[in-house]
Amino acid sequence: MAATKTSKEQRYDRQLRLWGDHGQEALENAHVCLINATATGTETLKNLVLPGDKPTYLIIIQGSVGKMYLHVIFNSSEHCFFMLQNRAQAATELLQELNSDVSGNFVEENPDKLLDNDPEFFHRFTLVIGVQLPESTCLRLGSVLWSASVPFLVCKTYGLIGYMRLVVKEHTVIESHPDNALEDLRLDQPFAELKSHIQSYDLESMEKKDHSHTPWIIIVAKYLEKWLSEHNSQPPKNYKEKEAFRQLIRQGILKNDNDVPEDEENFEEAVKNVNTALNPTKIPTAVEDLINSEQCSNITSQSASFWVMLRAIKEFIQSEGNGSLPVRGTIPDMIADSQKFINLQNVYREKAMQDAAAVSKHVECILQSVGKPPESISEKDIRLFCKNASFLRVVCCRSLAEEYSVDSVNKDEITSYMDSPDSEMVLYLMLRAVDRFYQQHSRYPGVYNYQVEEDISKLKLCVNSLLQEYSLNVNIKDDYIHEFCRYGAAEPHTVAAFLGGSAAQEVIKIISHQFVPFNNTFIYNAMSQTSATFQL
Amino acid sequence: MNLLLFSLFREKKRRRVVELTEKMVVDGGTGTRCEWEGRWNHVRKFLERSGPFTHPDFEASTESLQFMLDTCKILVIGAGGLGCELLKDLALSGFCNIHVVDMDTIDVSNLNRQFLFRPKDVGRPKADVAAEFINSRIPGCCVVPYPFESNAFCVEFHIIVCGLDSIVARRWMNGMLLSLLVYEDGVLDPSSIIPLIDGGTEGFKGNARVILPGMTACIDCTLELYPPQINFPMCTIASMPRLPEHCIEYVRILLWPKEKPFGDGVGLDGDDPDHIQWVYQKSLERAAEFSITGVTYRLTQGVVKRIIPAVASTNAVIAGKGQNPGIVKFAYIPLNNYMVFNDVDGLYTYTFEAERKENCSACSQVPQDLHFSPSSKLQEVLDYLTESASLQMKSPAITATVEGKNKTLYLQSVASIEQRTRPNLSKTLKELGLSDGQELAIADVTTPQTMLFRLSFTS
């Protein structure tokens, strides 16, 4: 009998394995607004439409510059359509090709006009993406979105340079899915149930079969006990001691009648994992910082569940946790027979459940203390939070206003990167200079061939005035000024594609609250194929 | 100038522009290129203007654009996640002569990222559908599909771009291009070099690299960068499962051949939901026996098909990066030569120059030495060939010239020969009549050319 998997699950199978059903649901319920359907804009849109059914994307087509180029975007329904950045064509094509299935709406409007007449238009969105917008529009939009606490992603492809700026006040991440997570084994401070489980093993009296299939965690624990009793309760600390500890374990390998060591892979594993096993159980600094933060200390009825749960963890640490986070409850696979492994796994699992239950009680109390019903945060969410307690992350980006204000510009970041004159930071400064040029001349430098030469000196003036205004004592090579004139504000497809992919992924991170977004300025240099992230 | 002709020409051009905007389906695939004002403005700025960071040999001219539009012939291998992105990027950037190879057909699970395909295309060959789509949507572009195996024609192309999903296939392509290199008096003829741009993605990670066969590091030079696939030990699967994956592998490897649930000789087809359902049920039973939790339908399918998670965005990024060298190549110094990308936490890229391996088994032209004692068994040689990190062969066939005659020592791919030569595995090299300095010819799916090894006896 065939399993009736919904076709949606089949279609999204490959990505569901990355962010799960709950992540997918978040995507599908999001309302994203993309402003300006240029190559970069449509690429970003394509990468958002593909993973999410029935998008409610609102595309605002800015008044055209008169140029006409072809952007093909492919959406999840039967229809694909051209987007031509010429106002006259756009309306026709979109009406022809967009259908209600896609539930994308389009508005043909100038974002500055919208900001004039109806700034609250933007309040309804989960996130707004602004593509190839001039500086003034960006800043205005940025300020509206900041007050409404709507995340804003600025994207720009300029010649061979890609630029992204994320503006989000406070973005919490529970499921950060770190690439290299340390295991949570508690061997340095075994909890009661783990202790008694370890004690239930007597390595010396075991038959070979059992001996060779004892999980390495037990082996390390046993020999650690021995070591501690012989070393004044001090665990192995330096390389020398750890080597000696490894030797101690090796000596535990069974020998046959001829005194030759048997092939005991589980002991080999134990030796190999000594470093992991001896990692002291501690709360990661990043998490400590969060726990000591203001949001965690001052819980109100407005506090997000993230902070309520974190506060509960704090209280857990101070009581049942004895200074540690709740036990994660997972162990890596290791050589062992099924029963020994499952039993050991269950010891960790059950402790994790116990700890989560304790945290739950704290959550209830906290909620009650701020007048909210205890069911406002589900058990499931609390368990997920506890499991990921070591990996919690919060990303707070500065506002655009702060970045652009002379009083709060991040001079240190800029000048320190500019110590290497070819660092990507110079590209950021050039983008700012180019924006300045646009403000002054109502066009970008070098768009037409005849302009390239004469614009170089004009752009240089912009560069100098920029550096002066912000009192930035840095040197920008003339080569970069020349290069940016050469670009002529081109939007080559290859860079647009790269940026479109990157931007879409950051948007997905923000919407799903999984994986960690960048903070807060990303520059891609397609000439050298390098990139950098700055916090400005 | 003949004003009439001039006006006619302008009229024709104007009409074309109007046609384009009135009906969206354009006749592509015939090589007639439709141009309109400013179509290539973006690309022109890079090809027709000089700049301070361009390649020292670059000269701004209109020829490069013409070359791209008219002459440059690109082969795209793979029309899947990366392939679709690559085709689109190349076509939109101005390349009009593109050939695409892919032997696969379209599956529903492709649709979350392989955007040249629609639900109605499921079951059709990817190469065909991809070509149709691009040809009908991008005026002037001509994509020629090869929905079948065809490896005799690489030499026609200026650049080859790969979006493959297997390391074996990559190594084959790599070997193929190496075999096309022409050496004159030991010096490499640069016109015989066909650049290979390779990319791969997995979830939120990916990489792109530029290979100039014979000059830069090749795929085999950096084989250790690809971690070998994890296979669970048999004893774990057979008698000591601990993870849900072990239970699934038990059903796939041991139970299916035993119970033949869909008939004699019917192999497990990961794409058949009935097959997966059966495996899933049996895996649950197996797991219940050992009190293992976590077997789900999704996990079952993932394990059976060795599914790698994939999203549209990573493919877009890597294709953008990979295809960039193609365009940038004309004007700038191309990527040198390996870039990795990871956007699990922020966005991380790292570019480095992968170095050629001096004794690379594929590109170094240095005969590989095999060091074994004469009393080593042939099985040990076989194990070395498959397990060595630098060779990672799949099922090598070993032949040697013994007493003037060509002798197949061991060959796996043909059942009758495998049976006949299997006893050789437990014979020593001496017993097999092999001598010190002897050449062994070894063939494998990982290389299109037979590799020569030199046997070097240790005492």
Per-domain residue ranges of chain A: 7-169+491-534, 192-278, 285-395, 409-487
> CA quadruple A517, A521, A525, A531: dihedral positive or negative?
negative
More confident residue, B402 or B417: B417
Report the CATH number at residue B407.
3.10.290.20
Query: Residue B29 domain-assigned?
Result: no
| CA pair distance A130, A151, nearest whole angstrom | 11
Q: Which domain holds residue B239?
A: 234-305
Residue A381 has pLDDT above 90, yes or no: yes
Packing angle of the helix pair A338-369, A305-318 (nearest 10 deg): 110
In this structure, how many other beta carbons lie within 10 angstroms of the beta carbon of residue A292? 10
Stretch A151-160: mean pLDDT:
96
The mean per-residue pLDDT over the stretch B428-454 comes to: 88
Q: Check if B108 contacts A (Cβ < 8 Å).
A: yes
* Cα A267 from Cα A251, distance rounded (Å): 10
- Cβ contacts of B280 on chain A, cutoff 8 Å: 3
What 8-state DSSP symbol labels residue A234?
P
Q: Average pLDDT of B288-308?
A: 92
Residues B238, B134, single domain; the answer is no
Residue of B313, B323, B332 to mutate when probing chain A, most A C-beta within 10 A = B313
**pLDDT band of B41, cuts 50, 70, 90:** confident
Neighbour count for residue B123 (Cβ, 10 Å): 9
Chain B residue numbers with beta carbons less than 8 Å from the beta carbon of A2 are 273-274, 277
Contacts 24+ apart (CB under 8 A), B376-384: B376/B428, B376/B429, B377/B425, B377/B426, B377/B427, B377/B428, B377/B429, B378/B409, B378/B410, B378/B424, B378/B425, B378/B426, B378/B427, B378/B428, B378/B429, B378/B432, B379/B425, B379/B426, B381/B429, B382/B410, B382/B425
> What is the rounded (10 degree) CA torsion for B309, B313, B316, B317?
-100
The pLDDT-based confidence of B327 (bands split at 50, 70, 90) is low
Give tens-digit pLDDT for A170-194: 999 999 999 888 999 999 999 999 9
Whether the pLDDT of residue A207 is over 60: the answer is yes
pLDDT the model gives residue B366: 75
ipTM here = 0.84
> Which pLDDT score is estimated for B308?
84
- pLDDT at residue A358 greater than cutoff 90: yes
Confidence at residue B35, expressed as pLDDT on a 0 to 100 scale: 61
Amino acid at B223: L
Which class for B229: exposed (0-12), middle (13-18), buried (19 or more C-beta within 10 A)? exposed
Q: Has residue B450 got a pLDDT over 70? A: yes
Residue B6 falls in which region: left (phi positive, over 0), alpha (psi -120 to 50) or beta: alpha
Comparison of pLDDT for A125 and A317, the residue scoring more: A317
* pLDDT tens per residue across span A223-236: 999 999 999 999 99
Q: Among all chains, which residue has been given the structure tokens 């402790």?
A: A351
Strand partners, A533: A522
Distances (CA, A) of B375 to B372, B379, B380, B436: 8, 11, 10, 12
Residue A281: count of CB within 10 angstroms of its CB: 16
- Across the interface, of A10, A17, A178, the residue whose CB is closest to B309 is A17
Nearest Cα neighbor of A44 from A154, A160, A168 is A154
Mean pLDDT score across all residues of chain B: 83
Q: What is the DSSP letter of B459?
A: -
Helix B3-22 vs helix A87-97: angle between axes, to the nearest 10 degrees? 40
Residues on chain A touching B319 (C-beta within 8 angstroms): 497, 501
pLDDT in tens, A399-452: 999 999 999 999 999 999 999 989 999 999 999 999 999 999 999 999 998 888
Is the torsion defined by CA of A417, A421, A422, A424 positive or negative? positive
Residue B320 lies in a domain: yes
The alpha carbon of residue B199 and the mean position of all alpha carbons in its chain are separated, in whole angstroms, by 8
Looking at the complex, report in whole angstroms how far the Cα of residue B64 sits from the nearest Cα belonging to chain A: 16
pTM of the model: 0.86
Residue B27 has pLDDT above 70, yes or no: no
Alpha carbon distance B125, B103 (integer Å): 7
User: What is the C-alpha to C-alpha distance for residues A449 and B29, in angstroms, rounded to an integer?
Assistant: 33
> Which stretches within B96-158 are classed as H helix?
126-137
Judge whether B310 is closer than 8 Å to chain A, CB to CB: yes
Please write the tens of the pLDDT for every residue from A447-467.
Answer: 998 888 899 999 999 999 999
Q: Note whether residue B392 is domain-resident.
A: yes
Which of A41-50, A376-385, B25-34, B429-438 tops mean pLDDT?
A376-385
Over residues B48-77, the pLDDT tens digits come to 787 888 777 677 777 777 777 778 889 999
Under the banding of pLDDT at 50, 70 and 90, the label for residue B29 is very low
Alpha-carbon distance B275 to nearest alpha carbon in chain A (angstroms): 8
Does residue A478 have a pLDDT over 90?
Answer: yes
Does residue A322 register a pLDDT over 70?
A: yes
pLDDT digits (tens, 9 = 90+) for A113-131: 888 888 888 898 899 999 9
Quote the minimal CA–CA distance from A2 to chain B in Å.
Answer: 5
Could you tell me which of B207, B212, B178 has the C-alpha nearest to residue B195? B212
Q: What pLDDT, on a 0 to 100 scale, did the predictor assign at position A296?
A: 95
Q: Calculate the CA A90 to chain-centre distance.
A: 35
* Percent of residues, chain B, with pLDDT higher than 70: 87
Chain A CB contacts of B316 below 8 Å: 43, 46-47, 497-498, 500-501, 504
SS3 call for A534: strand
Nearest to A211 by CA among A264, A137, A175: A264
pLDDT band at B332 (very low <50, low <70, confident <90, very high): low
Q: What is the mean pLDDT of residues B334-353?
A: 88
Q: Where are the beta strands (DSSP E) in B178-323?
A: 183-184, 187-188, 196-202, 205-211
B173 and B300 both lie in a single domain: no
Nearest-Cα distance to chain B for A48, in Å, is 8
Coil/strand/helix, residue B290: coil
Contact (Cβ atoms closer than 8 angstroms) between residue A61 and residue A87? yes
User: What tens digit of pLDDT does each residue of A256-270 get?
Assistant: 888 888 889 999 999
pLDDT grade for A365, boundaries at 50, 70 and 90: very high
Same structural domain, B61 and B209: yes
- The domain defined by A7-169+491-534 folds into Rossmann fold (3.40.50)
- In this predicted structure, the answer to whether residue B325 has a pLDDT above a threshold of 80 is no
Distance, C-alpha A315 to centroid of its chain: 27
Q: What part of A 226-245 touches B (C-beta under 8 Å)? A: none
Of B138, B302, B310, nearest to A15 by CB-CB distance is B310
| Position B193, amino acid | I
Q: How many residues comprise chain A?
A: 536
pLDDT-derived band at B358, boundaries 50, 70, 90? confident
What pLDDT was estimated at residue B34? Answer: 52
Q: Is B298 an interface residue toward A (CB < 8 Å)?
A: yes
Which pair of structure tokens corresponds to residue B456? 């070097």
Residues 111-170, chain B: which have Cβ within 8 Å of A?
111-113, 115-116, 118-120, 137-139
CA atoms within a 13 Å half-sphere pointing along the CA-CB vector of B45? 27
Q: How many domains does chain B have?
A: 3
pLDDT tens, A278-287?
A: 999 999 999 9
Smallest CA–CA separation between B201 and chain A, in Å?
12
Residue A91 Cα to chain centre, angstroms: 37
In this structure, what DSSP letter does residue B408 have?
Answer: E
B347 touches chain A (CB under 8 A): yes
A208/B188 Cα distance (integer angstroms):
61
pLDDT at A371 over 50: yes
Q: Are residues B337 and B395 in the same domain?
A: no
CB contact under 8 A, B344 and A515: yes
Is residue B94 domain-shared with residue B163, that is, in the same domain?
Answer: yes
Structure-block tokens of residue B120:
């109605």
The CATH number covering residue B281 comes to 1.10.10.520
Q: Which of A1, A12, A47, A459 to mutate to test the interface with B (most CBs of B within 10 A)?
A: A47
Find how far residue B417's CA is from the centre of its chain.
Answer: 30
Winning range, highest mean pLDDT, from A358-362, B107-111, B180-184: A358-362
CB pairs under 8 A between A and B: 254
Q: Give the number of other CB atoms < 10 A from CB of residue B342.
A: 17
What the block records as the tokens of A516 is: 């960690």
How many angstroms separate the CA of residue A190 from the nearest CA in chain B?
Answer: 23
Is B235 assigned a catalytic role? yes
- What DSSP line would sit under B212-250, residue for residue? -TTTS--TGGGGGGSPPPP---HHHHHH---SHHHHHHH
* Active-site option among B235, B247, B360, B363: B235
**Is residue B447 in a domain?**
yes
Q: List the CATH number of the domain containing B109.
A: 3.40.50.720
Note whether A506 contacts B: Cβ–Cβ < 8 A: yes
Asked if B52's CB is within 8 angstroms of A479's CB, the reply is yes
* The pLDDT of residue B66: 75
Please tell me whether residues B246 and B323 are part of one structural domain: no
Tokens of B108: 């529903």
Listed residue (A211, A369, A225) closest to A299, CA to CA: A369
Q: Is A321 part of the contact surface with chain B (CB cutoff 8 Å)?
A: no
A336: chain B residues, CB-CB within 8 Å: 240, 242
- pLDDT by residue (tens digit) across B125-179? 999 999 998 888 777 888 999 887 765 567 688 889 999 988 888 998 899 899 8
The residues, ordered by sequence, that sit 6+ positions from B108 with a Cβ below 8 Å of its Cβ are: A7, A10, A11, B119, B122
Query: At residue B188, does pLDDT exceed 90?
Result: no
Whether residue B28 is contained in a domain is answered as: no
Q: B145 and B286: one domain?
A: no
> What confidence category does residue B6 fall into, taking pLDDT thresholds of 50, 70 and 90?
very low
Q: Are residues B274 and B324 in the same domain?
A: no
Rg (CA), chain A: 29
Mutation target to probe the B interface, by most B beta carbons within 10 A, among A165, A171, A452, A494 is: A494
The average confidence (pLDDT) of chain A is 87
Contact of A27 with A511, CB cutoff 8 Å: yes
Answer yes or no: are the C-beta atoms of B427 and B377 closer than 8 Å.
yes
Q: Which residue has the higher pLDDT, A410 or B447?
A: A410
Which pLDDT score is estimated for A210? 93
- pLDDT score recorded for residue A1: 34
What percentage of chain A has pLDDT greater than the value 90?
Answer: 70
B396 phi and psi angles, rounded to 5 deg: -65, 145
* Helix orientation angle between A379-387 and A305-318, rounded to the nearest 10 degrees: 60
The arithmetic mean of pLDDT across residues A350-368, rounded, is: 97
Per-residue pLDDT at A317 exceeds 80: yes
Ramachandran area for residue B94 (φ above 0: left; ψ -120 to 50: alpha; else beta) = left
Decide if pLDDT at A214 tops 50.
Answer: yes
Q: If you average pLDDT over residues A373-389, what whole number do you get?
A: 95
Q: Which of A14, A491, A516 sits opposite B345 (nearest CB)?
A: A516
Query: Is B16's pLDDT higher than 60?
Result: no
> Based on the domain organization, do B258 and B123 belong to the same domain?
no
Residues in A touching B314 (Cβ below 8 Å): 501, 505
pLDDT at B114 over 50: yes
